Structure 1
């Protein structure tokens, strides 16, 4: 797990938080979203450890992708969202939000997931 200091001088933790044979919990720091036009969505919500994403090896619901990530910790407005591991789009249930995890956070998340799922090509193909 890596640490860095944010603008407020607090420690920001990133990396694998939990790892079992069924799932992996990861954190990237505070979530950053991007609209389809490439503009970033800035919201005032600072958290030392950021959001925690859980990726199951075999999720009963393969939507929005198989596998996909669940936000299981962090800011309330993000907990419960799912992340398509091919497009980086965020979903609320089956509803696409038209918002995406920022490219650098998505790439970091994919890099942390790859060792756990060596038989799956990540990011997932989208075509």
Structure 2
């Protein structure tokens, strides 16, 4: 069996070279973009499933030559900053969450988001790794529902979003 650190180092080298080759005048995919694209193209559950796959630079480029990396860089339509958090306290913290020393939250709404789930549009809270359905307030991490915004908080959030057609309010 190959040492995991050897495999990881080789994958990084090959993925960086592939990212450079897949770059265009308008877009410069990162190694993380390449990794996420491979997970999508190969229909894997997570990037850990890439471990020990035979994916040299040439194979990565072949697999991703027609991949639309622009979906990883959606145009931000609106960004809303709240004075206080509207995320219910019982929502579990994401392992990737950073400590933010501020009372408020920032929610982002993107134009042409790659994934219209759970609503089109929807709001991203990146520090908490959450996505909010802007019609009913359901809160998701990946595609797993974790809770729901209070009706009052959802309505207040929607009122702060301007120049964007929102889904029908369902609460």
**TM-score normalised by structure 2 residue count:** 0.44
2:133 is equivalent to residue 84 of structure 1: yes
**Match of residue 56, structure 1, among 83, 88, 110:** 110
**Match of residue 23, structure 1, among 65, 77, 80:** 77
Which of the two has greater strand per residue? 1
| Residue equivalent to 1:103 | 151
Contact 2:123 2:132 in 1 (8 A): yes
Q: Highest Rg: 1 or 2?
A: 2
Which of the two has greater helix per residue? 2
Shift in Å, 1:91: 0.1
**TM-score normalised by structure 1 residue count:** 0.58
Pair 1:22–1:33, CA change in 2 (3 A): closer
Pair 1:95–1:53, CA change in 2 (3 A): same
Aligned residues: 90
**Aligned-CA RMSD value:** 2.9
Tell me how far apart the structure 2 counterparts of residues 47 and 30 of structure 1 sit (CA, whole Å).
Answer: 12
2:116 is equivalent to residue 116 of structure 1: no
| Residue equivalent to 1:7 | none
- Unmatched runs of 5 consecutive residues or more in structure 2: 1-74, 92-98
Contact 1:26 1:53 in 2 (8 A): yes
Shift in Å, 1:59: 0.5
Contact 1:51 1:72 in 2 (8 A): no
Pair 1:125–1:30, CA change in 2 (3 A): closer
- Unmatched runs of 5 consecutive residues or more in structure 1: 1-20, 35-39
